[in-house]
A = this chain, B = another copy of it.
Amino acid sequence: MAGVQARVESALERLLPASDVMPVRLHAAMRYAVLGGGKRVRPLLAFAAGEAGGYAPAADAARLDVVACALECMHAYSLVHDDMPCMDDDVLRRGRPTVHVEYDEATALLVGDSLQSLAFRLLADHRLADDVGTQLEMVNILAHASGSRGMAGGQAIDLASVGKALSLPELEMMHIHKTGALIRAAVALGARCGRARSAEELKHLDHYAKCVGLAFQVVDDVLDREVPTATLGKTAGKDAAQGKPTYVRVVGLARAKEMARELQAEAALALSRIAGSTRRLRELAEFIVLRRF
């Protein structure tokens, strides 16, 4: 995992516009938003899914670098916009001031906008699949995952649910969009960098990703309750204080922890149905459920 994290950090350093390129303040702020932090969960999933396909290490790892960077640009953009005063109004992220605090609101808005464009640029500007049609499909997957029926739509549902008592299915629906969509995209894009897979195998991989995405959010809610701000690197207890529905609130702490383990088991079951080495994908599901921050 540390190896993948290091190579993604170095790929991001290389693929983000340099901070001496005009407009310099915007580019510096984009780098601030993306570099030097984060667990890089989506890149880890993309690499693991690519590896599970039995990829040719040298060529495909270079492709996975680009896919990982596109995912991190998209993820970082969503964090920058979500932290803004008109959304979640947060001042701390990855242990540092959020972008609108460190720079200003207008810059934060443009940083998010530009990172989204860059994510698509990366997917279109590099050779990522043997077949160009597959690569166009990858653009489509990322566009769908990030849009109004994916990540951005999930954030809209989240905002609309503040102060409301959601049912468990409603809460799941929100998270399947808000964090789940991009996590599924990470696995789908990573898988497409490797050898061609059957529709059946892609379906099992997607089910794995769906379970992992939900587990990720359940654990996030547990940590938000149990871990102090200093360890978390972001403001702890914020969701609860803002009246946002969380798994802990809806099903209780004990049941939430149980659900995370059940989702991990379901993810492992999906993996058992596909060929190739799925060890890393299995380990990642475990890491996501057992992590402490």
Residues of A within 8 A of B (CB): 17, 21-23, 25-27, 30, 77, 81, 84, 86-87, 104-107, 109-110, 112-114, 116-118, 120-121, 123-125, 132-133, 135-137, 139-140, 142-144, 146-150, 152-153, 155-157, 159-160
Contact A146 B117 (CB under 8 A): yes
Contact A143 B156 (CB under 8 A): no
Contact A156 B26 (CB under 8 A): yes
List the B side residues contacting A123 at CB < 8 Å: 139
> Which of B25, B105, B107, B125 has a CB less than 8 Å from the CB of A140?
B125
Contact B107 A156 (CB under 8 A): yes
A120 to chain B: closest CB distance in Å? 4
Given A23-B160, A120-B143, 14 other A-B contacts at CB below 8 A?
A21-B149, A26-B153, A27-B148, A86-B106, A87-B109, A110-B156, A112-B113, A114-B148, A114-B153, A117-B143, A117-B148, A124-B136, A124-B139, A125-B140
Quick one: closest B residue to A153, CB to CB?
B23
Contact A121 B136 (CB under 8 A): no
List the B side residues contacting A113 at CB < 8 Å: 77, 81, 112-113, 116, 146, 152
Supply 13 A–B pairs (Cβ within 8 Å), ascending by A.
A22-B153, A22-B157, A25-B156, A30-B148, A86-B105, A87-B106, A107-B159, A113-B152, A114-B152, A117-B148, A124-B136, A124-B140, A125-B143
A113-B80 Cα distance, complex, nearest whole Å:
12
Quick one: closest B residue to A87, CB to CB?
B106
A116-B117 Cα distance, complex, nearest whole Å:
8
List the B side residues contacting A147 at CB < 8 Å: 114, 117-118, 121
> Which of B30, B121, B150 has a CB less than 8 Å from the CB of A143?
B121
Contact A118 B106 (CB under 8 A): no
A134 to chain B: closest CB distance in Å? 10
